Amino acid sequence: MSHKSVAVRTRGLVLTEHEFPIPLDHSRPNGERISVFAREVSDPDGLDRPFLVFFQGGPGHEASRPTRNPSGPGWLDRALKDFRVLMLDQRGTGRSSPVGMLPGLAPKQQAEYLTHFRADAIVRDAEWIRSELGVEKWSVLGQSFGGFCVTAYLSLAPGSLREAFITGGLPPIGRPPDEVYIATYLRVLDRNRQYYDRYPGDRDRVRGLHKRLEKEDLRLPSGDRLTGRRFRQLGQMLGMSDGAEHLHYILELPADSPAFRHDVEAGTGFARNPLYAIVHESSYADGWPTRWSAERLLPSEFATSPELFTGEHVFSWMFEDYGALAPLKEAAEILAEHKWPKLYDATTLAANEVPAAAAIYVNDMYVERELSEETARAIRGLRTWITDEYEHNALRADGERVLGRLIDLVRGRA
């Protein structure tokens, strides 16, 4: 079954939209198929440039939507000088076959289905697409979880890659998830300290909101009750360059206002992309079960200081507090006990011959710097740019410079 494609033109761009029927389970090529969507983006005079495949952050989020204006991804203009860009809606997201509540499947069936949405499956999708498009080799760019995908690509199919660029996304290799969450919680506690140093008046406001949420049934636009533990998850914003400001502007709104309730719900947007909550911890499971690692390792400070926000952490109670996640509760429990296969081949990475570069952010709240540096040393020939100039969202905040620097590193110009 061949894929479908449609070409359209927008302001200054040529977009070719592809839909590929791909096996859900790549070990069963004749089994159930899902659709994977990819959008090819090029300058009108760049239709024959080599491909750069973009792997989105997440997991569970679709690719950015390209435009030639400030709302588009900031790195795209730089990329299009050298490439035409293929932007994947990773399986289960965007215009690819969506993962929602998985109705009609028993919990064990849901869990089995959801084992096929990690970085290794995404890389095999990319290889399927590369073959369909008749491309011998292409370059890859991964942001955050997309960097995990690029590292998996370097493990699984390095012969298909011309060069590799990673931003804020070098994963730990061979380490249990518990070590990841011990490190990231230390970063989150420090971000809380920095936040309240900047906005000291918010401390009492947040404490007051927690007391109110204990007593009152405050409902969000979805109908879900806002619980204190859900409210704490707004802290995931604090790892972005503008995150503290966004959080403060939510907290300054009256709690009775529609604006406050809307912005809180939007700031904890797991309902839009339920796949994130399901597979996030498994992204760190390089041959391990997760067993609700972040929940088990929650520092004691959070029990005594209600004003502390959590970060990019997933908890079992989310499948109770979020109505959109409740149908997947039993499947999530099954997956928490699942021993995930390894994602990376240390021997292949140690023998890497693909020109590669990675930006590592010193103060990254989501992807621990020391573990990223350890992985960088394990990938032969990988050049690193270790910087404290940016937060995790540097590719969005200053994409022209960040991607340009990585290209220069790979090509020996820096």
**Is 364 labeled as catalytic in the residue annotation?**
yes
What pLDDT score was predicted for residue 69? 67
Tokens matching residue 294:
């972040």
Q: What are the tens digits of pLDDT across the range 316-375?
A: 999 999 999 999 999 999 999 999 999 999 999 999 999 999 999 999 999 999 999 999
Q: What is the mean pLDDT of residues 195-200?
A: 98
Tokens matching residue 383:
């050049």
Q: Three-state SS string across 311-325, please?
A: CCCCCCCHHHHCCCC
Q: Is residue 291 pLDDT above 60, yes or no?
A: yes
Give 220's DSSP letter: P
Matching residue, tokens 């390894």: 342
Q: Is residue 82 pLDDT above 80, yes or no?
A: yes
Q: Is residue 253 pLDDT above 90, yes or no?
A: yes
Q: Is residue 414 pLDDT above 80, yes or no?
A: no
What pLDDT score was predicted for residue 1? 57
What pLDDT score was predicted for residue 6? 84
Q: b vs e for 173-198, b when ≥16 Cβ sit within 10 Å of the residue's Cβ?
A: bebbbbebbebbbebbbebbeebbee
Q: Write down the CATH number for the domain with range 4-174+342-410.
A: 3.40.50.1820
What pLDDT score was predicted for residue 12? 86
What pLDDT score was predicted for residue 3? 84
**Is 144 labeled as catalytic in the residue annotation?**
yes
Q: What are the tens digits of pLDDT across the range 208-232?
A: 999 999 999 999 999 999 999 999 9
Mean pLDDT of the chain: 95
What pLDDT score was predicted for residue 248? 98
What pLDDT score was predicted for residue 399? 93
The single residue of 64, 96, 139, 144 carrying the catalytic annotation is: 144
Q: Is residue 302 pLDDT above 90, yes or no?
A: yes
Residues of each domain in the chain carrying CATH 3.40.50.1820: 4-174+342-410
Q: What is the mean pLDDT of residues 179-196?
A: 97
Tokens matching residue 50:
């080599």
What pLDDT score was predicted for residue 70? 64
What pLDDT score was predicted for residue 72? 64
Given its phi and psi angles, is residue 58 left (phi above 0), alpha (psi -120 to 50 degrees) or beta?
Answer: left
What pLDDT score was predicted for residue 59? 93
What pLDDT score was predicted for residue 175? 94
Q: Is residue 262 pLDDT above 80, yes or no?
A: yes
Q: What is the mean pLDDT of residues 99-124?
A: 95
The single residue of 120, 202, 263, 364 carrying the catalytic annotation is: 364
Tokens matching residue 195:
């936040």
The single residue of 18, 280, 313, 392 carrying the catalytic annotation is: 392
Q: What is the mean pLDDT of residues 31-42?
A: 96
